[in-house]
Each structure stands twice: as C-alpha cells, then as structure tokens.
Structure 1
Amino acid sequence: GTTNQPKGTMDKEAAPTTVKEETENKETREEGKIEERGAEENAEGKGNAEDDGKGETKWTKVSEKFDDMGLKQNLLRGIYAYGFERPSTIQQRGILPILAGHDMIGQAQSGTGKTATFVIATLQKIILNQHATQALILAPTRELAQQIQKVASALGDYLKVTSHVCVGGTSVKEDITVLSKGVQLVVGTPGRVFDMIRRRAIKVNKIHTFVLDEADEMLSRGFREQIYDIFQEMPREVQVCLFSATMPPEVLEVSEKFMRKPVKILVKRAAVTLEGIKQFYIGVEKEEWKLETLCDLY
C-alpha cells in the first residue's frame, strides 16, 4: 500500500493500476484527507469552505480585525507591538484558511503583507511545549529568508517560539549545533535546508506546516530539484502554503503534484499600491532642487 509513503512520493512506485482506478483511488484519498482536516477545524471555520469542483476549495470568510481571528493572546501582543493595527487584504482572507488546515495558494506581490500572513498563521499553529521542528518556510534568497525569520522572531516574541535561519554562506557546523537542540520554526533557502534534512539535523517527522514564499522566483532560480527533494521528505499529511506573484507552469505543476484542494487567494495589483500608504508628490521647478526638497522632508 501507499499509506506510509512521504507526501511527495510518486504513484508510479505503487502497483500498476489503470488510469480509471488511479483516478478513483486518488479521489478517495483526497476526500479522506479533507474529511480528516474538516474534523480538526473549529466550529466557526466549518461553514466557510466549499469545494468549487475545480480541484480548489472556495473560502468565503473575511476577518477585518486580528482580534476576531481566534489568535493566542501573546501572538496578538506581538502583532500590535510590531506596529500592525488592522489586517491587510491578504491577511483578512489568508490567515483563517491556513488555521483551518487547508492548503493555500496566495497570489500576491511584495508589499501586500503576505509575509505576515503566513508567519502569523504558522506561529498560531506551533505547539509551544513541543520543541521539535514543526514548521518550515522556504525562500529564494538568503536576504529574504533572514527577513522572514526576523519578522517571525518579532511577531512571536511573547510566545517564545524558537526559530533559526538556514542559508548558504554560513557555517554548516553552527546550523547543525543549533538545529540539534530543537528549533520550532526553520526558515531557509532550498539548498541549505535540504542539506540539513539529508544530514538529519532537521528532523521532519513533526513538521505540520510547509510554506514556499516567492515560489515562482525559487523555481526560476533552478531550485526545482531541491524543492521536489524536500517535498519527498515531508510527512504525508503536511499542510502546504504557496505564495507566488505569478503562476507560471512550474508553479502550477508544484501545486498539482503536492497540494490538496487548495484555497486560492488573489490580491490584484491595484489593491496593493495604495493600501496603508500615503502617497503625494511635490513639484520642483529645477532638477537641482530635488535633493534639497528631500532633505527638507526627512
């Protein structure tokens, strides 16, 4: 049987079946997983999701306040201490489906608040008295991974969640030392993260949340093989959240292979630029006055 296969294991390893049988088997497995997940959802979340018949789950609930999301008190403290007052569009729509256990695709550019969306949801899901690695976040660059870890560290400050960033160009030995002590949240780039999994420094058996940020960037940078390798190591029931500004074929392939009826959240570019940002311009008559005007402003 395929019950104990890792989530990413391809069906070709199983006994040969007809296309029809395979389709029926797959549908049965997927229905079972959705039912299992549904049982874990809180009562409030149950009525907010429905199958749209296109392999995706439609999510209808929008939450306009962080206080209405059922978040831990110490997480709320971290959110407000960080300077957030109310959730952005993607946070209003994206945090709750992750908390309800759904796989999610968030199509959003930088500046939408997408990082805080998956960081807040991930921090809420971490079991605080369990010190094993429970969540893994992948990013395409060292700088972005470090930035995500800083946000996680700040928002999770009052929760005392332990986190570590795993990126190339840093000491492998130091990574192994820190990870061996038990880190609840790991953020990193695909190459170094897979290396740490291969060395068994990152133990994957307790990971329940797997986030890919800027998935289009990661796949265009040639990380496809490492990403697929990491998926093969993940527990079968891991929840996958994928964030991407665009949806090229490579990203769709990942979502089809490794995600189960995801909720899809789209934040249009027009909704991005003005949200929470005051914009104005100052007309200057001469080119050389620009610097002086900027100095006056700042």
Structure 2
Amino acid sequence: MDFKELELSENIINELKHMGITKPTPIQQESIKFIREGKDVIAEAQTGTGKTLAFLLPIFENISPNINSTQALIVTPTRELAIQITEEALKLKKAKDINILAAYGGKDIGSQLKKLKRNIHLIIATPGRLLDHLHRKTIDLSKLKTLVLDEADQMLLMGFKNDVEDIIKEVSKKRQTLCFSATMNSDVKKLAYRYMTDPLVVSIKKEKVTLNNIKQYVIETTDRKKQDALCNIIDQDNPFMAIIFCRTKRRVDDLEIALYQRGYNCKKLHSDIPQSKRERIMKSFRNADIQYLIATDVAARGLDISGVTHIYNYDIPENVESYIHRIGRTGRAGEEGCTCLFVDPKDKRTLEEIERGIKFRIPRRELNI
C-alpha cells in the first residue's frame, strides 16, 4: 500500500517524499482513512511505529485554512513529545500552510499569547500549559473538530487524568476524539470509552522481531562498582551514539558529572533542565555532536532518534514493558543494536521478571579488568 491509496493530497505525498517517507507504516495504513472520515479511533502502538504521522496526516488534510478557528488539538504528556510532534507538523506545513502553536511549560507564555492573536488552526500542548491558557481564556476550543490524546497511558501514569478531563469539558461536544497509547490498560480504556463515540480500535502489536536485531547483555556488578563497570564497557564498545538510563534525576546528575570528569562526551536530560537547554541538547544529540545522552525514562519518553547504536541500562527498569521500551530505541530499521543491563544483587528478582517477560535468559558479559 502507498499513500495515494490512503487518498492523501499530492502536496502532502510530495512533502513525505522529501522527508524520505514513501510507504505508510501499519498503524498509518490502519488508521488514516478512518480518521479522515471523522471516526473516533483508539490506537494501540509503540513509539517508533509512525503513530505521530498516523494522526498528523489526516488532521492536515481535514483542516480548512480559511476557517478562523482552532480545528485540531493534540495533547501530549511531556515537553519533549510536544516538541517532536511540532517538528513533524512544521515539516508538513510546507505542503499546507496552516498556523500551528506549540504550548508547553518552559516556553515563554508571552510569545505564545502574541501568536494566539493570529488565527491558530492546530495546537500541540502539554496539559498544564493548555489549562493555563484555557483559564486565561486565551484559547477557545469551542469549534474544535479533532482532539488527540497522545501517549494516553503515560498521561494517566503521570497524574494528568483530572487535567485531561478538564480539557475535554472545554471542547466542542461534536468533536472527533483520537486516543493513541503504547498500552491499552483498563485506565486508558475507561477514559477513552467515557469520552468517545463508538470508537474503532486499531491495535498494532509489539514487533517481537525488533529484539532480534538487538544484542542484549547483563553485567553483574554492585551499586558501588557500577560507575567503573559502565566506563569499562563503554570503553570496549566505543558506541557511535548511546543513551544511558538512570532511575532518578539525582542519579542522572551524579552520573553526568562523573562521566564528564572522566572525559566522556555526554549531556544529561531530565525534567528539571530548562526547556531551551533541553531543546539544544536534543538537537546536538540528533546531530551526533553528543555521544552519550544520560536520561530518565520520563525525559526520554517518545524520543525517536535514528543512529542510536547502544542502550546502557545503568539502573534496572521497573518492569519488562519499560525494559522493552528502553532497548527498543536501538536496532531500528533493520540496523543492529546493543544493550547492556547493569544489575546489583538486589535487582535479581526484577531481572528474573524481565527475562520471563521476554522469554529469554540474557547472556552475562564479563568486564575487561
């Protein structure tokens, strides 16, 4: 199947070609037509499956630039995701000139208010900043055609349920609602069915094969020796680009200082870092000017960066889903990836759960000492 069969306009198809995209992914094939027809859709799909374009493409097709009202709203849990979606939307703007506003914390609200004086067709926002605008009455969602709840499972996990419900109250009752989520747990289903009309369910199952492209290793160590163990391994691997995951912001801070002092080209990413700085860090990492990105799960949620060759789980993930999500950031598009999981004796039970979940005993890797 190609994009023509999905009845997208020539301009959009040509812009996709410029972006190097010629074939729709399964989630795009399954959902674009339904969304274009105005149906409510619940879509279950992982990061990296092309879900952003699955909702952006039909939204662009359905927006009328000559109507002076906000016609589509995308609500997403983190600033990083809002930035990523905005970047994709701005590329499509070359095909159809619509006005786009990104509204998230850390960005100057004054400039956002100025922008809002113009007619805004599409808003991409985090819940907190959007509610701020709604309370100030600087955003009017009464004529909204399409509402997208992106990463709905994370939104609920991060405690945004009440915010999302407050936002929905401000939106036209005649709207189309799209709910995209990596997992379709009972909380997501409850939220979706409460606010959707006869929704179609599209589920793109996790591709187990992606793990086949990824070499996985466990390094048995102790928390005290973990830093040396990590440096030992990355010296052996010398990865092109790597993400190092830590459990907390404090652990990220400490590890960045330690690695920087040892001469590694690294930067940290977590929610306490000012937004403008985070954007600069992400740009540098995408351009491969930074070799090691040290991050928390929340900060790295939804990041889809090509060229990541190695994932180092400095701290063990909480569960098998989180493990698969982390390591799935390498081994993309048929490329080989490598991951290392550093485990302390106290992590034994979590490691066993992860291995049961992926039905694979991860080989142990020795340090070069």
Provide TM-score, normalisation by structure 2. Answer: 0.57
Cα distance in 2 for residues equivalent to 1:256 and 1:213? 15
* 1:1-298 mapped onto 2 (5 Å cutoff): 64-270=1-207, 273=210, 279=213, 290-291=237-238
Higher strand share: 2
Equivalent position SS for 2:178: strand
- The residue type equivalent to 2:237 in the other structure is K
Q: CA deviation at 1:172?
A: 1.8
Q: Which whole-Å CA distance do the structure 2 matches of 1:187 and 1:164 have between them?
A: 6
Q: Residues of 2 paired with 1:207 and 1:240: CA distance?
A: 10
Q: Residue 31 of structure 1 aligns with which residue?
A: none
Q: Is the contact made by 1:82 and 1:155 (CA closer than 8 Å) also made in structure 2?
A: no
- Displacement of 1:202 after TM fit? 1.3
Provide the C-alpha distance between the structure 1 equivalents of 2:240 and 2:125, rounded to a whole number of angstroms.
41
SS of the counterpart of 1:110?
coil
How far apart are the structure 2 equivalents of 1:125 and 1:232?
A: 23
Partners of 1:203 and 1:289 in 2: CA distance: 55
Counterpart Cα distance in 1 of 2:177 and 2:17: 27
Deviation of 1:80 after TM superposition, in Å, equals: 1.5
Deviation at 1:158, TM superposition (A): 2.0
1:130 Cα offset (Å): 1.8
In structure 1, distance between residues paired with 2:209 and 2:114? 41
Which runs of 4 or more aligned residues in structure 1 lie more than 4 Å from their structure 2 counterparts after TM superposition?
278-281, 286-289
User: 1:181 and 1:292 mapped to 2: Cα distance?
Assistant: 46
TM-aligned CA distance change 1:240 to 1:272, over 3 Å = farther
SS of residue in 2 equivalent to 1:268? coil
- The alpha-carbon deviation at position 249 of structure 1 amounts to 2.5
Q: Shift in Å at residue 200 of structure 1?
A: 1.9
Matched with 1:15 is none
Check the 8 A contact 2:68/2:119 in 1, yes or no.
Answer: yes
Task: Structure 1: give runs of 5+ residues left out of the alignment.
Answer: 1-63
- C-alpha change, 1:293 and 1:73, in structure 2 (3 Å) is closer
SS at match of 1:168: coil
Q: 1:195 to 1:90 in 2, by over 3 A?
A: same
Classify the secondary structure of the residue corresponding to 1:159: coil
Q: CA deviation at 1:272?
A: 7.5
Task: Give the letter aligned to residue 91 of structure 2.
Answer: A
Gaps of 5+ in 2: 216-231, 242-306, 310-369
Deviations 1:153-200 (A, max 9, x none): 102322112111100122222211111211111001011112212222
Residues 224-251 of structure 1 deviation map (CA, whole Å, 9 limit, x = unaligned): 1110011111101100000011122221
Q: In the aligned structure 1, how far is the partner of 2:10 from the partner of 2:77?
A: 32
Would you say how many aligned residue pairs link Structure 1 and Structure 2?
226
Relative to structure 1, is the Cα distance of residues 169 and 272 closer, same or farther in structure 2, using a 3 angstrom cutoff? Answer: farther
> Aligned-residue CA RMSD in angstroms?
2.4
- Name which structure has the greater RCO, CA cutoff 8 Å, separation 6+: 1
| 1:52-75 Cα distance to aligned partner (Å, 9 max, x none) | xxxxxxxxxxxx110112212222
Q: CA deviation at 1:151?
A: 0.3
* Whole-angstrom CA distance in 1 between matches of 2:32 and 2:208: 18
Residues 271 and 130 from structure 1, CA distance in 2 versus in 1: closer, same or farther, beyond 3 angstroms?
farther
Q: Structure 1 residue 293: deviation in Å?
A: 9.1
1:29-73: CA deviation from partner (whole Å, max 9, x where unpaired): xxxxxxxxxxxxxxxxxxxxxxxxxxxxxxxxxxx1101122122
Identity of aligned residues (%): 34
- Quote the residue 1:49 is aligned against: none
1:260-287 per-residue CA deviation (whole Å, 9 max, x = no partner) reads 111111111127838xxx9587xxxx97
